[in-house]
Amino acid sequence: MSDQSDPAKPGAEFERDVKVEKPGIVGARWWHKSLMDEDGKVQRRSVLAGFAVAGGVVATMSAMGFGLYKLMAGESTALVPKKALDMQRQFGWDFGARGVPLVFNGVAEGPFQRSELRMLGQIMTPAPGANTKYQVGTLIESLYQQPTTTLPDPQDGQPAPDSAPFKPLADVLMPVITPEMKKAYAAGEALARLTGWRPGLAVLVDLPGPEAVAFAAGAASSFEPVLLLDNWPHPHGVVPSHMTLGALAYYQPRFLSTRERVVSAPLFVLDRARLSPYSEDTNKFDNRYYARMPKLDMLAKDGVRALFYVVATPAALPEPADLHAILSAKQTGAEPAVDVRALALSEFAPDPSVASDDKVYYGGTARTDAAFWDKYPFGSKPATTPGTPPASVAAAKDYQFVSRPAIASTLPSLGTVAVVATASGLILAAALDRRGSMNRFAGGWSG
């Protein structure tokens, strides 16, 4: 996946504002600099004095379970941002919230063979071919991962944070189905029926995670699902990706039954919640991520000539900042350009005049459904003038993907979690409950 747009790599279109290896929390870097000593360390007395001014922060740290572990040993501690996924891989998917239950809305009733989850990764991996290199199956990898290390015991006699027995995510996951998922599944079925076998067609689904999975399941007879789900669930996660994983578990039999399809047109699956708003003064775990969608020039080399970008409604346009540079890019490759058109889930509905269970039609009638390709004549531009505000676009088909610098400049810094660490780099605990002075006094050191 060397040609994919990964904002974490040099030369990518987007750059994070703060690198996770360096001290500093967004919005408080000026305070970090003011607390740095010339040798890069804050001595015990200075740290304690600063905490006293903060109004009881030391007591707060003790209540959180890591007390004065290294302060009493003469080594300073600080709040340090780390990459959230790295911390989960090292200390467990529920890092900082061991034993806190996940909340599943729409739990599916009926038999569920938990042992079958071991096959999910294999089932969701594209067959050998062009789509394999695009797969980002990070979410599924979380199911059976074990922590590689544990947090140290404090020296105040308190148990170590996250000292409760660890349970693999696969042991607590539940399959889920919701009314919204059922609607998305029916729309996916409708698109598969309409497209049939059309060489060069691909789909990018940018819906809330469970609905995106459901849409992919519905369309699985004609499209090969390619996951772009690049995070792990967490009990306090900003992104409720455990629901997405639960949707994958629910539709696992469907995906298994459609693996032997004739065509391998890719259907890229994204979670729209990946860039959800988040404030660092909450107790949320920032498991957000950027979409690693392949560039259009790369898709063109694999024979893609047309791409549907599926959103919930026309109001979901324009596309998020992490996709904008990709979908609106000027294509300069030797291959013919990939024509990108928007398609809204809301434009599929049952036909009241047709007696059918759960079947939906484009435009809501069999007549408009039959005219689908008249509405989407790939190779010709939508009627709307480029730059038209999305609010004035009555249908997704009229939206044009054109470069808008204001969109590309709105990418936030994301995917990090504050931890309490010593100057030597020893991680003592997650700091999910930081508030006020706890955040302000995240003093640090150089390097």
For 131-184, the pLDDT digits (tens) are: 999 999 999 999 999 999 998 887 666 777 788 899 999 999 999 999 999 999
The answer, yes or no, to whether residue 272 has pLDDT greater than 50, is yes
Which range, of 54-63, 132-141, 254-263, 281-290, averages the lowest pLDDT? 54-63
Q: Which residues contact 30 (CB under 8 A, 6 or more apart)?
A: none
Q: What is the Cα–Cα distance from 125 to 132, expressed in whole angstroms?
A: 7
Report the percentage of the chain scoring pLDDT > 70: 74
Q: What is the Cα–Cα distance from 259 to 315, expressed in whole angstroms?
A: 34
pLDDT at 156: 62
pLDDT at 356: 65
Q: What is the Cα–Cα distance from 136 to 1, expressed in whole angstroms?
A: 9
Cβ–Cβ < 8 Å for 402, 328? yes
Summarised one tens digit per residue, pLDDT across range 11-20 is 344 333 333 3
Domain locations along the chain: 114-146+170-408
Q: Report the predicted TM-score, pTM, of the whole model to 2 decimal places.
A: 0.80
Summarised one tens digit per residue, pLDDT across range 161-175 is 788 899 999 999 999
Max Cα distance, the chain (Å): 79
Q: What is the Cα–Cα distance from 52 to 437, expressed in whole angstroms?
A: 10
Query: What is the pLDDT confidence band of residue 406, given thresholds at 50, 70 and 90?
Result: low
Average pLDDT over residues 311-320: 93
What is the bridge-based pairing of β-strands 339-344 and 361-362? unpaired
Q: Which two tokens stand for residue 99?
A: 């034993």
pLDDT at 107: 84
pLDDT at 175: 96
Strand pairing partners for 361? 349
pLDDT at 332: 81
Q: Which of 65-69, 267-271, 359-363 has the highest mean pLDDT?
A: 267-271
Q: What is the Cα–Cα distance from 401 to 382, expressed in whole angstroms?
A: 10
Query: What is the pLDDT confidence band of residue 357, given thresholds at 50, 70 and 90?
Result: low
Average pLDDT over residues 349-372: 88
Cβ–Cβ < 8 Å for 344, 395? yes
Q: What is the Cα–Cα distance from 107 to 124, expressed in whole angstroms?
A: 21
Whole-number average pLDDT of the chain: 79
Average pLDDT over residues 188-197: 90
The answer for 436, left when phi > 0, alpha when psi is -120 to 50, beta otherwise, is: left
Average pLDDT over residues 415-440: 73
Q: Which two tokens stand for residue 274?
A: 């990946």
pLDDT at 87: 97
Q: What is the Cα–Cα distance from 100 to 235, expressed in whole angstroms?
A: 6
Summarised one tens digit per residue, pLDDT across range 44-60 is 333 333 333 333 334 44
Cβ–Cβ < 8 Å for 39, 31? no
Strand pairing partners for 228? 136
Summarised one tens digit per residue, pLDDT across range 64-81 is 444 444 444 557 888 899
In the chain, the amino acid numbered 176 is: V
Q: Which two tokens stand for residue 43?
A: 């001595």
Query: Phi, psi at residue 79, to the nearest 5°?
Result: -80, 125
More confident residue, 2 or 24: 2
- CA nearest to 122, candidates 259, 263, 270, 267: 259
Helices 209-218 and 241-250, packing angle to 10 deg: 20
The answer, yes or no, to whether residue 441 has pLDDT greater than 50, is no
